[in-house]
Structure 1
Amino acid sequence: MLTLEPLTRADVGTITGPGYVAKLWLTFPGWFWAHWEPERPVDQRVLKTLIVNVYLDGAEQPQISAPVGDLFGIGLCRMASFAANAFGMSSGGFYLNLPMPFRSSLRIEVRNVDPDFATDVFCNVLYQRVDELPDDVPSLHGFFHTGRQSGSEPLLLAELTGSGRYLGCTLSCQGERPNYLSYLEAPEHVFIDDNWTAPQIVGTGLEDYFLGGWYFREGPFIGPSHGVPVKDTLDSSVAMYRMHDLDAIRFDRRFRMTFESPWDADRLAPFAHSSVAFFFLDHPQAAPSIPLLDELLCWYRTVDSDHQSIP
């Protein structure tokens, strides 16, 4: 266990290689009432302001960098229990099962970007050392994006150069206006390698990409590789995930994926979003930088652990 004071960071640990991490598990208080410290503040936004960074093979910048909520499946500054194959939130615990190969070292860091709020972090890392890794073993990456938009511009999930395969993502969205889900009218557009003007893959709707339909008409559902752990229509909030297996998208030189609505701008309304896109890449690359606090806390509304509105 380690304590993170406001605006501090600390290493969970460094592993020397070669080897791979098989499971990352952690938990922390602050998003719920701690009965053993009844006067301790409660703020669901710790799910956004606690950052996990993973550094491969001595890199100065992390290859995985994301808030805990987004990394483990729900970026809405709220908790909902679900268990998928790759990641999940197990009634207070957070886990990531995607393998993280490393050749010389792997370092895990946690960072608290809140200027006022402290928290404790408990972490367990299951790893295996090996004699050597084959030359073609790729590196796991997790790229975070977030922001607010008017509703009509493309939602960028990820853009990068290099060779590898796209594994899937977590994506959370919230409309500025209550009872608004029309941001789901935005099919995926995937651009691969040399053709940067016309997408090679175009879907039929944002909820369709996550293998649902009709704005997830029947509400939340949990599957091993895709699901919707949160759908709150009145709050205009949806948290989604989808991981690819045999349908992983491979690329040799570059990759770009957006969600783009075909509707006219006057039919759309502002919304906020945050996501983590997962990749296996042929060599370690720096993840996008975590934005400043105001942009990081992009949601129009958050709720506490008792589902009461926080101004």
Structure 2
Amino acid sequence: MSIGNLNDIFRPAEGRSRAITAENPTGAKGAGGKAAGPLGVARKGRAFLPLPAGAELTLCDIRTPGIITHIWCTTFDQTEKHWFALRNIVLRMYWDDEETPSVEAPLGDFFCNGFGERAIVNSLPVVVNPTGGMNCYFPMPFRKSGRITVTSEHPEDIEAFFYQIDYTEKDSLPEDTEYFHAAFRRENPTAPGQDFVIVDNIRGRGKYVGTFLAWTSLERFWYGEGEVKFYIDGDWEWPTICGTGAEDYFGGAWGFVTPNNGAAVAEQTYSTPFMGFPQFVTRDKVRAHIYDGAALPMRGFYRWHLPDPILFESDLKVTVQQIGHDGLRLFERSDDLCAVAYWYQREPHAAFKPLPDAAGRRPR
């Protein structure tokens, strides 16, 4: 059954439905809801796990062929003395006992919530509902094992991490199964005249399925003239696919603004099944109870290549130019960019660029 295809829902499906939570950490059959709590046994006894500072929490360690079909989780976006928990928690996923993760990204950015702040996202594979209910529907297959962890690089203990991982247990999966991958990048600041690399060093055969960009403007004027480029299967100098501008890649146009009696109004956010602009931060909301401070303009965008995946046979690199417009002319600009790239490929995958530490991921 393909993602979101209701026309297939009535067809017979093979496998066994399982779910992993804090109450049933192995997903074992008939083992749900047994934990004891204040109301007694099987009365909501263990809805979450604590996440101490510096700790790694294993959310699931499935030791059978299967496909993760849905992940839901939520936690606090700040603690008493420190902000940006969604940037400080790192999500990792490992398939078939691999030593290096196939998914490595800050928790918030993976769910299209950049800058350590929450935002509502209403897309097909990623949904974030009020308040901070993060959902992922990308299918994640594995032939031997699937392990998901969260690691806290937050300076304080996080009281509670809530989660549920739904999966289908299988007898086997084809040898040519393509596995889910996601990787985080940041360049702060970007170098004028040099394209920001969303992802590179993808080696193997697969398909690119999505981009999330968390874009902090460090200069004045319009920022989104840069073209998104895909270097496919040996394109070392010139890309095979080159778009017409950043706002076009994310499905918008004309700077996301609508003229009002000759004057442009504020950029309009949107969230649709395959592309969106769900975050636009101009006030320092995380510290609003201390002071009403202006923030550098921060914008979060997503683009899912689900109807139109970018296919590659041997290698792939994805970049975006840093080009702005001041109303008179184009200019090379420098901003603070973070990205999460999402793709499927046959294993093994090439090593990711090292993840910046918590200080290197800190939002402006």
Amino acid in the other structure paired with 1:294: A
Native 8 Å contact 1:186 1:261 kept in 2: yes
Alpha carbons 2:223, 2:324 under 8 Å: kept: no
Q: Aligned partners of 2:125, 2:149: CA distance in 1, in Å?
A: 20
Could you tell me how far apart the structure 1 residues matched to 2:116 and 2:353 are?
Answer: 21
Of stretches 71-80 and 180-189 in structure 1, the one that deviates more from structure 2 is 180-189
1:104 equivalent to 2:153? Answer no
Distance 1:268 1:114 in 2: 35
1:64/1:287 contact within 8 Å kept? no
The one of the two structures with greater contact order (alpha-carbon pairs below 8 A, sep at least 6) is 1
Give 1:284 shift: 4.0
TM superposition shift of 1:100: 0.3
Tell me, yes or no, if structure 1 residue 68 matches structure 2 residue 141: no
- Taking the aligned partners of 1:193 and 1:53, their CA distance within structure 2 comes to 27
Identity across aligned pairs (percent)? 27
**AA of the residue aligned to 1:170:** F
**C-alpha RMSD of matched pairs (Å):** 2.1
CA distance in 2 between partners of 1:85 and 1:117 (Å) = 33
The alignment status of 1:184 with 2:233, answered yes or no, reads no
CA offsets, 1:88-147, max 9 Å, x none? Answer: 211121111100001111011010112345342111000001111122221000011112
Flag the 1:181–1:229 CA change in 2: closer, same or farther, 3 A. Answer: farther
1:122 corresponds to:
162
Counterpart of 1:158?
Answer: 199
Residue 238 of structure 1 aligns with which residue? 299
Q: Are the equivalent residues in 2 in contact too, given 1:3–1:121 (CA < 8 A)?
A: yes
Distance 2:107 2:248 in 1: 26
Number of positions where the alignment pairs a residue of Structure 1 with one of Structure 2: 289
Q: 1:228 Cα deviation (Å)? A: 0.5
Map of 1:272 onto structure 2: 336
* Distance in 1 of aligned mates of 2:160 and 2:354: 24
Equivalent position of 2:84 in the other structure: 45
- What is the CA–CA distance in structure 2 between the aligned matches of 1:244 and 1:161, rounded to whole Å? 19
2:121 aligned with 1:82, yes or no?
A: yes
Matched to 1:68, the amino acid is: L
Report the 3-state secondary structure (helix = DSSP H, G, I; strand = E; otherwise coil) of the residue aligned with 1:182.
coil
Distance change (3 Å), C-alpha of 1:248 and 1:266? closer
Provide the C-alpha distance between the structure 2 equivalents of 1:183 and 1:150, rounded to a whole number of angstroms: 14
Q: Any conservation in 1 of the 2:82–2:156 contact (CA below 8 Å)?
A: no
Instruction: Describe the shift of the 1:261–1:28 C-alpha distance in structure 2 as closer, same or farther (beyond 3 A).
Output: closer
Paired residue type of 2:276: G
Indicate the residue corresponding to 1:219 in structure 2: 268
What TM-score, normalized to structure 2? 0.74
- Which structure would you say has the larger Rg? 2
- Matches of 1:96 and 1:197, distance apart in 2: 35
Picking from 174, 194, 201, the partner of 2:216 is 174
Moved more, 184-193 or 147-156: 147-156
Which of 14, 27, 30 does residue 74 from structure 2 map onto? 27
Aligned 8 A contact 2:54 2:151 in 1: yes
Structure 2 portions without partners, runs of 5+: 1-47, 258-266, 283-294
Query: More deviation in 66-75 or 112-121?
Result: 112-121
Which range moves more in the overlay, 212-221 or 85-94?
A: 212-221
Counterparts of 1:249 and 1:201 in 2: how far apart (Å)? 9
Change (3 A) 1:42 1:185: farther
Letter in 1 for 2:279: V
Contact persistence 2:323–2:330 (CA under 8 A)? no
C-alpha separation in 2, matches of 1:288 and 1:105:
24
